[in-house]
Structure 1
Amino acid sequence: MPKRVDHDLRRREIGEALLRIASTRGLQAASMREVATEAGVSLRLVQYYFHTKQELLLGALAYLGEQLSARVEEHIRALGLPPSPRSLVYGTLTAILPTDPESRRLTRTYAAYYALVLAEPELAADHGTAYPDLLERFLTTQLRTAQQAGQVDPDLDAPTVAAGLLALTNGLGSSVLGGQRDGDAALAILTYHLDRLFAHGTGGMASDNVAA
């Protein structure tokens, strides 16, 4: 009896092969043939599941977003903090900082996509900002909840602050990858800004501080 092929799994394996190339060698020189070699399949099979390189890049980007979502959820659980807007903001942003092998891999892979967008801006137009936008909306929701609970200044513009926090975290991640500072120093800077943000409410962020 012929072996049943799990097409979703095979497609994911090919997409994740591209992500491995992105995290180690970047994307601008990654060809469909290289992806086939990395995935251990034929070029024809890669082209069967992804008709163009653009389609492959966008498909793999969706898998990368799923990996980052899983990383954030696992990291928040591992911190073991009481559920609150403060702990969710802290857990989400510290999950993104490149402080361990998995977060460094994710940060390098996203950096490879950012570098590619500079040369191919149409990639960003085709859903390239979907996951960052989702993160900003999530952070905005948590900040608004904190405002309602009196934990954050009610006059702050939550969407603007959320965008700034994400930009700060991404910038700190780049500085870690570039060797300007280590992960602990980046975590300390992020925590400082979160302490100040949540200083409006009772209690301090220090009680939530757990190394990422």
Structure 2
Amino acid sequence: MPRRVDHEERRRELTAALLRIASTRGLQAVSMREVAAEAGVSLRVVQYYFTDKRTLMASGITELAARLDRRVRERAAALGTGLPPRTVLEVVLGAILPTDDDSRADQLAWTAYYAAGLTDPADAVDGRYAPDALERWLTGVVARAVDGGEVPADADPRIEVVSLLALTNGLVSSVLGQQRTVDDALAVVRYRLDRLFAASPSGAAGSPPRGSTAPTIDSAIQSS
């Protein structure tokens, strides 16, 4: 009796093959045939799951966003529930940095998508929705910190988040380019967060005021 095919698993395998090519050779090397070879299947299998190259490339963006989400959730779960805003920010920004082989490969793939959008916008996949969603969610986290007195009242949550993400993305490039180590990059992120949360009334950066309820990672992500 022939083995039953798990279609979702097969789709994930093909997307993973695409991202391996993107992270090692760039999107210019991606084709339906190359993905088939990387995944060890026939070209017809790739064409069955993805109608064209653009649909295939879009699956890569979706998977990269999902991997970041899983990475954040795993790190947050290791710290417990009811995390204060400063910890939430450190977890998320730290998850963006290429701290191991898997996250490094993901960031190389993100870079490949970004570069493709700059050099060949007609064929590029619009991946802005994932960073935009993250920016909106983190803005809510900082806004709650302002309301709780952990961040100065005159701080603009959106501008603070844009600044933090720009800083972190710049650090990603410097780590990938071996200009600095991951530990150095993490130290820069913490330095910036320490100054943002320096006005915490409790005297400890990132500690929620008495009587407040800190947002959890899960509830914040699900509401974004």
Instruction: Answer yes or no: same fold by TM over 0.5.
Output: yes
Higher helix share: 1
Tell me how far apart the structure 2 counterparts of residues 184 and 206 of structure 1 sit (CA, whole Å). Answer: 20
2:161 aligned partner, one-letter code: A
In structure 2, the partner of 1:109 is 109
- Whether the 8 Å contact between 1:93 and 1:169 is mirrored in structure 2 is yes
In structure 1, the partner of 2:139 is 140
1:184/1:64 Cα in 2 relative to 1: closer, same or farther (>3 Å)? same
Structure 2: unaligned runs, 5 residues or longer:
208-224
**Which stretch of structure 1 is more off in the superposition, 47-56 or 4-13?**
4-13
Deviation, 1:113, is: 1.0
- Whether the 8 Å contact between 1:97 and 1:103 is mirrored in structure 2 is yes
Identity %: 53
Deviation, 1:88, is: 0.5
Deviation, 1:6, is: 2.0
In structure 1, the partner of 2:69 is 69
Deviation, 1:78, is: 3.1
Q: How many residues are matched?
A: 206
Structure 1: unaligned runs, 5 residues or longer:
208-212
In structure 1, the partner of 2:128 is 129
In structure 1, the partner of 2:213 is none
Residues 136-170 of structure 1 deviation map (CA, whole Å, 9 limit, x = unaligned): 11110110110111000111111121111111101
1:109/1:41 Cα in 2 relative to 1: closer, same or farther (>3 Å)? same
- Whether the 8 Å contact between 2:22 and 2:29 is mirrored in structure 1 is no
Tell me how far apart the structure 2 counterparts of residues 37 and 106 of structure 1 sit (CA, whole Å). Answer: 20
Deviation, 1:185, is: 0.7
User: Does 1:179 find its partner at 2:178?
Assistant: yes
Tell me how far apart the structure 2 counterparts of residues 117 and 15 of structure 1 sit (CA, whole Å). Answer: 19
Return the TM-score normalized by structure 2: 0.85
**Which stretch of structure 1 is more off in the superposition, 20-29 or 34-43?**
20-29
